[in-house]
Amino acid sequence: MILNILPIKNKLKIFNDPIYGFITIPNSLIFDLIEHKYFQRLRRITQMGLSYLVYPGAHHTRFHHALGSMHLMQQAINVLRFKGVSIAEDEENGLLIAILLHDIGHGPFSHAMEHSLVTDITHEEISLYFMEALNEEFNGSLTLAISIFKGKYSRKFMCQLISSQLDMDRADYLKRDSFYTGVAEGNINSERLITMLNVVDDHLVIEEKGIYSVEKFLIARRFMYWQVYLHKTGLVAEQLLTRILKRAKELVLDGEELSCSDALNHFLSLEINKSNFEDSTLQVFAKLDDYDIISAIKEWQYHNDFVLSNLCDMIINRDLLRIQIKNKSIKVSELVEHKHDLMNRYKISELEADYFVFQGKITNQAYQQKKENIDVLYKNGKIKDIVKASDQLNLKALSKPVTKHYMCYPKERM
């Protein structure tokens, strides 16, 4: 008789991260959450969408980012406790779980799905659905984490550590995205920022010594948005991906059969929004990742639909649309000219031409004063907003939104 003895897992694993070095898993509950298929799916979701078409090194995933954010949260908890801020063990667990799972609801290529396959529902809301499903599976162990994630926990500073203008999410992704893209100007000293954290009247503050680190953080954030997140080539690629999925959905709803995974087909063949996003929908969503999309696009580039095949070919072979970015609105006459040229050249309808000729706008605002401020604590106990506390005049400019307009259209031949 052969006994099937399951090995006992060592749940105190260590990850070797290229940014921070060794990251430790603090307890068995967090280990089990990381091991769960919902979280492992994040290994197959690119952190920066199609930005690798611009920065070849940007292949890191949401999995990397989630672990990095948890590591920074561990550091923040240690710093605050050292300064006399009381954080109970269950609150520590809640903070670590909330930041670990804050991005678990991202769809393929991070943001493209929110604008094409589902409507009226954000990745934050889907993250909450996942957390509630996991809470049921783990017998209520995530209840406090969910309260913190929703911003409803009584201790406000804990909610700020998860989501604010100086949270552990931003502290990781700026440093991580800077590292993987090779854009050194976006690098921030997250360790010093965290060391300067404190709590006053239940609100997160940064000590006076950290003013320059916050200035660097905000300037780096502005730079990363213009140089990386809103880079014109990355912008075109994401627009194309959104339009591919939109066109595929249009064809499927019109009775066309497209070769793709069952999970992707589910979202193409149904109109899914907040009102009908049920548990069964979540289970299908959990099977969907970047690989479904790339595999489908590789097939669809040979489809007989003019729009779908050309859009897919552009992504696969990185032969993208042209883009012009301007400080003022695009003239309608310019769009019409490009659209008519395309319609005449390929004998396509205006509806089809709209997939290749379009306009939009992008906005960059590194610091939003109307939201929860980044407050600076002085030695005399006074608290000032970072813009008033800083002698860096640029911070006032950074608090104003800058909007640019863009127009996309095909090259001479498609």
Tens digit of each residue's pLDDT (9 = 90 or more) over 194-219: 999 999 999 999 999 999 999 999 99
Mean predicted confidence (pLDDT) in 41-69: 96
Q: How many Å apart are CA 358 and CA 277, to the nearest integer? A: 30
| Predicted confidence band of residue 6 (pLDDT cuts 50, 70, 90) | low
Give yes or no for residue 1 having a pLDDT over 90.
no
- Cα distance between residue 1 and residue 3, in whole Å: 6
Can you state the angle between helices 232-253 and 306-316, rounded to 10 degrees?
150
Nearest residue to 42 via CA among 68, 23, 73, 4 = 68
Mean pLDDT of 132-137: 97
CA neighbor of 88 nearest in space, from 136, 154, 24? 154
Among residues 141, 18, 107, 32, the alpha carbon closest in space to that of 71 is found at: 18
Q: What is the mean pLDDT of residues 379-393?
A: 84
**Roughly what angle, to the nearest 10 degrees, separates helices 290-300 and 232-253?**
70
- Provide CB contacts within 8 A for 241, sequence distance 6+: 49, 50, 109, 112, 293, 315
Q: Over the stretch 11-52, which tens digit does the pLDDT of each residue have?
A: 668 999 999 999 999 999 999 999 999 999 999 999 999 999
Encode pLDDT of 112-122 as tens digits. 777 788 888 99
In the chain, what percentage of residues exceed pLDDT 90?
85
Q: What is the pLDDT of residue 300?
A: 98
**Residues 6+ positions from 111 with CB-CB distance below 8 Å:** 49, 123, 238
Q: Identify residue 148 by its one-letter amino acid code.
A: I
pLDDT higher than 80, residue 3: no
196: phi > 0 → left, psi -120 to 50 → alpha, else beta; which? alpha
Q: How confident is the model at residue 368 (pLDDT cuts 50, 70, 90)?
A: confident
pLDDT in the model for residue 387: 85
pTM of the model: 0.93
pLDDT at 60 over 70: yes
pLDDT-based confidence at 9, cuts 50/70/90?
A: low
Q: How many whole angstroms separate alpha carbon 164 and alpha carbon 151?
A: 10
Distance CA(399)–CA(385), nearest Å, equals 12
Angle between helices 262-269 and 232-253 (to 10 degrees): 80
326-332 average pLDDT score: 92
Average pLDDT, the chain: 92
The continuous run of DSSP H or E covering 204 comes out as strand 203-207
pLDDT at 374 over 80: yes
Asked if residue 157 lies in contact with residue 166, where contact means CB atoms within 8 angstroms, the answer is no
Q: How many CB atoms lie within 10 A of CB 237?
A: 24
C-beta of residue 332 within 8 angstroms of C-beta of residue 200:
no
Confirm if 296 and 321 have CB atoms less than 8 A apart: no
Residue with tokens 């911070």: 395
H/E segment holding residue 156 = helix 156-162
SS3 290: helix
Asked if 15 and 34 touch (Cβ cutoff 8 Å), the reply is: no
Q: Per-residue pLDDT for 414 more than 90?
A: no
* Percent of residues, the chain, with pLDDT higher than 70: 95
Widest Cα–Cα separation across the chain? 82
Note the pLDDT of residue 10: 66
Name the β-bridge partners of 118.
Answer: 272
The edge-to-edge listing of strands for the beta sheet with 358-364 is: 322-326, 402-409, 358-364
Confidence band (pLDDT; 50, 70, 90) for 347? very high
The residue-averaged pLDDT of 276-297 equals 96
